[in-house]
Structure 1
Amino acid sequence: MRLIALILLALVALPANAQSTMSGEEFDAYTQGKTLYYGSGNQPYGAEIYLPNRRVRWSFLDGECKDGEWYEADGLICFTYDDRPDPQCWSFEQGARGLIARFENDPAVTPLYEANESTEEMLCLGPKIGV
């Protein structure tokens, strides 16, 4: 009986500890003017520069950058890029060490976490020319 009471107490306490999903306004206030580096597991994943007017520049840290924009839809933050107009929607929450991002187009994907913030320019090489 005591074990059941402890389990019920733990379940009741869970919502108080849960982080809430960021709104578009909260996400904009947090990211505006920053370059955030994201990790997945113990590996670097990519970086994004958050520009004015909800514009972004993304890189998988390979020197190739993709320009795009974000918008809020149904409580999610959705990104479209010049070369990929289909929306990529994420839920963001602020954890103890920064943002936690969950890809809502495929919830089985491992969440990304904010690994670092930088004020330095992200490496973007010029467009590929030739063969």
Structure 2
Amino acid sequence: MRALILSCLVAFVAAPALAQMSAEEFDAYTRGQTFYYGAGGAPYGGEEYLPDRRVRWSFLDGECQDGHWYEERGLICFVYDNRPDPQCWSFERTEQGLIARFAGEQSLSELYEVRRSEAPLMCLGPKIGV
């Protein structure tokens, strides 16, 4: 009996997280939507998910960065025009919305969906002048 419980526990721990979204699931859930994310109980930023895996990100300050996403080894990786190094995340869909977990070594490790909208992000135009 003990061996059965141990083997079940090992199989459970070794199994991949079933809730992690695939690239196809992520695209179907996010495309055409703008998601607003929070971290630690405070607003963090918003991302507009456009056709062809293109995105537009803002820290909700009116400045937006365009980029795109792709799947790599089960993670969703984002590259932005102003930041060419990929930022990879795992996404889980819960009853409360998306949870994104960063796959790097930065201090930020988790974002969560606060709300979702079909309206685009508010982006100010380019800064003009000196």
TM-score under structure 2 normalisation? 0.84
Q: Deviations over 1:27-69 (max 9, x none)?
A: 0011010000000021000000100000000000000000000
Identity, in percent, stands at 63
Q: Which residue of structure 1 aligns with residue 42 of structure 2?
A: 43
Report the alpha carbon displacement of residue 127 of structure 1 after superposing the two structures with TM.
Answer: 1.0
Residue in structure 1 matched with residue 52 of structure 2 by the alignment = 53
The alpha carbon displacement at 1:120 in A equals: 2.0
The amino acid across from 2:64 in the alignment is C
Aligned twin of 1:83: 82
> Aligned pair count?
122
SS at match of 1:25: helix
Map 1:20-35; keep pairs closer than 5 Å: 20-35=19-34
Structure 1: give runs of 5+ residues left out of the alignment: 1-7
What is the alpha-carbon distance in structure 2 between the residues aligned to residue 126 and residue 107 of structure 1? 30
Quote the RMSD (CA, aligned, Å): 2.2
Q: Unaligned regions of 5+ residues in structure 2, if any?
A: none
Aligned-pair CA distance for 1:19:
5.2
Superposition TM-score, scaled by structure 1 size: 0.83
Distance 2:98 2:105 in 1: 18
Q: 3-state SS of the aligned residue for 1:27? A: helix
AA aligned to 2:63 is: E
Structure 2 match to 1:122: 121
Tell me, in whole angstroms, the C-alpha distance in 1 between the residues paired with 2:124 and 2:45. Answer: 15
Question: SS where residue 25 of structure 2 aligns?
Answer: helix
Query: Distance between the aligned counterparts of 2:81 and 2:108, measured in 1?
Result: 23
* 1:29 aligned partner, one-letter code: A
Equivalent position of 2:104 in the other structure = 105
* 1:38–1:44 CA contact under 8 A, matched in 2: yes
Shift of 1:95: 1.3
